[in-house]
């Protein structure tokens, strides 16, 4: 199920969205909100824009209106009172997505067009059997398996000092190399990159998720962290290694 969220501000005065439950009495004036969805599959090919359920959510986290995108991906909410809302998009095959970088101020009676929602389907790539192979100099070598492997596959790695590392809980992330249709692949991490996020002697935990063939993340406006919404929902096994700033021996 895909859920995409837009934060929008329809205010007479300037306001900052801080979450459901904020004390805000909306103006009695209303306006029409409308927009378009652009759906893509995991390889960035245009997909069916029709059939997304779109909900308008108020600051108390209540769905106050609902509609469905048409064949052109269009949706509309008439007579929306001035205030702060979320717009959520749901469709089978799509993970939660939040577009939190845009705040929209409604001015005047003209209908307000929201930013086009480019929604990518959830990756079908699964990652398994990840292993730490060796350290040479300050480089670290790892192996993992990708499936299915009949075409190019992609994955993202998440690193943390916590053994509960995940796509939501991490300190650093980066995309692994393309698999080019092979099941087993190798990736390397350079010590100079690790030094930006971890201290010498730290135990670092890694987990991997299959990802789509193009950008599938957005920045959460509250945490400023990238949210990888279209990655596969099944993580790889979590592994660990010790980061050493200067280590010349092969482990």
State pLDDT tens for residues 83-130: 777 788 889 999 877 654 333 444 556 787 888 888 899 999 999 999
Q: E strands, 82-136, where?
A: 83-91, 96-99, 112-113, 117-120, 126-136
Q: What is the pLDDT of residues 161-174, one digit of tens each?
A: 999 999 999 999 99
Q: What is the mean pLDDT of residues 64-90?
A: 89
> At 144, which CATH number?
2.60.40.2060
106 lies in the same domain as 170:
no
91 lies in the same domain as 150:
no
Between 57 and 21, residue with greater pLDDT: 57
Domain annotation covers residue 228: yes
112 lies in the same domain as 130:
no
111 lies in the same domain as 69:
yes
pLDDT number for residue 247: 60
**Given pLDDT bands bounded at 50, 70 and 90, which one contains residue 144?**
very high
Q: How far apart are CA 228 and CA 122, in angstroms?
A: 10
Domain annotation covers residue 251: no
139 lies in the same domain as 37:
no
Q: 55: closest CA among 45, 47, 64, 44? A: 64
pLDDT number for residue 80: 84
Q: Give me the domain span that covers residue 133.
A: 126-242
111 lies in the same domain as 211:
no
Domain annotation covers residue 51: yes
151 lies in the same domain as 107:
no
Q: Is the pTM of this model over 0.85?
A: no
Count of C-beta atoms within a 10 Å radius of residue 67: 16
109 lies in the same domain as 154:
no
Domain annotation covers residue 99: yes
pLDDT number for residue 121: 94
3-state class of 181 per DSSP? Answer: coil
Q: In what order do the strands lie in the sheet with 172-175?
A: 172-175, 154-160, 203-211, 239-242
What's the number of domains the chain is made of?
Answer: 2
Residues of the chain above pLDDT 70, percent: 81
Q: How far apart are CA 99 and CA 220, in angstroms?
A: 8
Contacts of 5 (CB under 8 A, 6+ apart): 86, 87, 88, 89, 96, 97, 98, 99, 100
39 lies in the same domain as 146:
no
Domain annotation covers residue 250: no
Q: What is the pLDDT of residues 182-219, one digit of tens each?
A: 788 999 999 999 999 999 999 999 999 999 987 778 77
Domain annotation covers residue 249: no
3-state class of 237 per DSSP? Answer: coil
> At 91, which CATH number?
2.60.40
116 lies in the same domain as 7:
yes
Q: How far apart are CA 191 and CA 182, in angstroms?
A: 27
């Amino acid at each position: 199920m895909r859920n995409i969220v837009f934060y929008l501000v329809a205010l007479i005065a300037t306001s900052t969205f801080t979450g459901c439950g904020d004390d805000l009495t909306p103006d009695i004036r209303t306006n029409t909100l409308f927009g378009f969805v652009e759906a893509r599959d995991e390889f960035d090919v245009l997909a069916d824009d029709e059939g997304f359920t779109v909900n308008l959510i108020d600051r108390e986290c209540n769905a106050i209106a609902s509609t469905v995108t048409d064949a052109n991906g269009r949706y509309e909410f008439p007579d929306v009172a001035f205030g702060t809302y979320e717009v959520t998009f749901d469709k089978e095959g799509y993970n939660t997505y939040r577009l939190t970088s845009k705040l929209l101020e409604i001015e005047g009676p003209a209908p307000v067009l929201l930013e086009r929602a480019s929604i990518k389907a959830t990756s079908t790539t699964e990652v398994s059997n990840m292993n730490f192979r060796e350290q040479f100099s300050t480089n670290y070598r790892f192996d993992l398996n990708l499936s299915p492997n009949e075409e190019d596959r992609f994955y993202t790695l998440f690193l943390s000092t916590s053994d509960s590392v995940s796509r939501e809980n991490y300190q650093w992330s980066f995309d692994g190399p393309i698999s080019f249709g092979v099941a087993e692949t190798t990736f390397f991490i350079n010590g100079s990159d690790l030094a930006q996020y971890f201290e010498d002697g730290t135990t670092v935990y890694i987990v991997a998720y299959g990802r789509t063939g193009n950008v599938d993340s957005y920045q959460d406006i509250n945490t400023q962290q990238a949210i990888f919404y279209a990655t596969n929902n099944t993580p790889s096994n979590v592994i660990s290694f010790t980061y050493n700033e200067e280590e010349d021996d092969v482990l």
